[in-house]
Chains A and B, each alone.
Chain A
Amino acid sequence: MRDTKLDFLKELANIGTGHATTALSQMLSGRLFQLVVPDAQMLPFDKAADYVGGSEQVIVGIFVVVSGDVRGHMAFLLPLDSALVLVRLLTGDDSGEVHELARSALQELGNIMITSYLNALAKMTDLLMAPSVPGVAVDMAGAVWQSVLAGAEVANEVTVIRTEFFADGESIEGHILFLPDDDDFGKIAHSLGLEEM
């Protein structure tokens, strides 16, 4: 039962991330992005902290609350150097610092990717999934991820679907994470004619 649910979530993630990376590609003059097959897990709380690895690595985290028919949270995490490459490609700024405009560019990029992901799922399921204004943090991975988990008020288990993406020859990599509220997962399944997961 669990495996079916997880496979299903991976499928959703495939579709969602496909749209998100198309959006990213469009923003970056058609650069091609590759996706690593999504990883869907129901993580026990004590394993959750290690999910993003490298606790002290500095990352950029964009975090969104999802409301509407399906509620949950989404995060877009990328190592700082990937973020700086994206900033350079988007704004021409190669200072290597994340000041105002860079932050703004990253917020918008995260916003577009996350919303494209949700748009794809919404179209498929006919359920409204509206993202909030995004929050942006540039900080240690452990602290960012912990704040995402607390924001999602996870209990003893958290459902996380993660897709890794990267661009050849550009050293850009990152993760898109979708944490749907357990209660609403059933709605998604039901809307696609799948019962009992």
Chain B
Amino acid sequence: MTEVFVNMGQISSFKTQGILTTVGLGSCVGVALYDDLAKVGVMGHIFLPQSREKDAGAPPGKYADTGIPAMIDEAIRLGARKSRLKAKLAGGANLFPNLSANSTSIGMKNIKAVTGHLEEHGIAIIGKDVAGGHGRKMRFFVDTGVVTVTAIGKEAMEI
């Protein structure tokens, strides 16, 4: 089965089968969208919550506000129906807690933004492993819809 790595700001997809993998989830949030009837899976790797003027040419998947709609469009393009889409999330950690002692960490802001945008689009989050202080790797098996999350020193878990 083909495995594709989804880097920061990228969006990738498979229909029927394939593995979508993202490593390097620190404060970033990995989002897996799935339509289990059409077997369409889309993965995004969100870097920051809100798109910025000074980064006008950025790929949509870089920011939560442009990324979620872009992921939904991609899913529909492959034959998914928006009403059947479900989401799973991983990441949004704070690896350097003492640097944001007086404010909300970027990881938390990302989680909030992604959750908010999914809610706006009526997409339920049916699994997640977010926040905390450690990095994560996320793998999305499109044939079954299974999503696993790994962190150092921990067993891979299904979310």
* A/B touching: CB–CB < 8 A: yes
Question: How far is it, in angstroms, between the C-alpha of A150 and the C-alpha of B52 when the chains are bound?
Answer: 13
Check if A143 sits within 8 Å of B24, measured CB to CB: yes
Give the docked Cα–Cα distance between A56 and B59 (Å): 25
Tell me the B residues contacting A by CB distance below 8 Å.
Answer: 7-10, 23-28, 47-48, 52, 54-55, 57-59, 62, 93, 95-99, 106, 133-137, 152
Q: Which residues of A sit under 8 angstroms from B24, Cβ to Cβ?
A: 49, 55, 140-143, 145-146
A-B contact pairs, 8 of them (CB 8 A): A50-B7, A55-B24, A137-B95, A143-B24, A143-B93, A151-B99, A151-B106, A155-B54
Q: Point out the residues of chain A lying under 8 angstroms from B9, CB to CB.
A: 45-46
Q: Is the CB of A155 within 8 A of B99?
A: no
> Which residues of the other chain, A, contact B62 by a CB distance below 8 angstroms?
45
Residues of B within 8 A of A56 (CB): 23, 137
CB of A146 within 8 A of CB of B28, answer yes
Q: Is the CB of B99 within 8 A of A139?
A: no
Chain A min CB distance to B31 (Å) = 15
Residues of A within 8 A of B (CB): 45-46, 48-50, 55-56, 58, 61, 63, 65, 132-133, 135-137, 139-147, 149-151, 153, 155-156
From B109, which residue of chain A is reached at the shortest CB distance? Answer: A150
Chain A residues in 8 Å Cβ range of B25: 143, 146
Q: Is the CB of B98 within 8 A of A139?
A: no
Is there contact, CB below 8 Å, between B54 and A143?
Answer: no
A141 neighbours in B (Cβ, 8 Å): 24
Taking a contact as CB atoms under 8 Å apart, the answer to whether A139 and B48 are in contact is: no
Q: Is the CB of B54 within 8 A of A55?
A: no
Which residues from B are CB-within-8-Å of A153? 48
Interchain CB contact under 8 A, A147 and B27: yes
Bound-complex Cα distance A136 to B98 (A): 9
A136: chain B residues at CB < 8 Å are 96
| Inter-subunit contact B8/A48 (CB<8 Å) | yes
**Of A45, A144, A145, A149, which contacts B58 at CB under 8 A?**
A45
The CA of A145 and the CA of B135, in the complex, are separated in Å by 10
Query: Are B57 and A135 within 8 A (Cβ)?
Result: no
Which chain B residues lie closer than 8 Å to A155 at the CB level?
52, 54-55, 58
Is the pair B135, A139 in contact by a Cβ cutoff of 8 Å?
A: yes
- B-side contacts of A149, CB under 8 Å: 8, 47
User: Within 8 Å CB of B137, what residues of A?
Assistant: 56, 140
In angstroms, how far is the closest chain A Cβ from the Cβ of B83?
33
Are A146 and B27 in contact (CB-based, < 8 A)? yes
Smallest Cβ-Cβ distance to B54: which chain A residue: A155
Which residue from chain B places its CB closest to the CB of A45 in the assembled complex?
A: B9
A51 to chain B, nearest CB (A): 11
Nearest A-chain residue to B91, judged by Cβ? A143
Q: Chain B contacts of A49 at CB under 8 A? A: 7-8, 24
* Interface pair A63/B99, CB less than 8 Å apart: yes
- Considering the chains assembled together, what is the distance between the CA atoms of A50 and B10 in angstroms? 14
Tell me the complex Cα distance, A153–B133, Å.
19
Task: Report how far A47 CA is from B58 CA in the complex, Å.
Answer: 13
> How distant is A170 from chain B, measured CB to nearest CB, in Å?
25
Residues of A within 8 A of B133 (CB): 137
Closest to B58 in A: A156
Q: A137-B133, A140-B23, A140-B135 given. 5 additional CB < 8 A pairs?
A: A63-B99, A135-B95, A142-B135, A143-B134, A144-B95
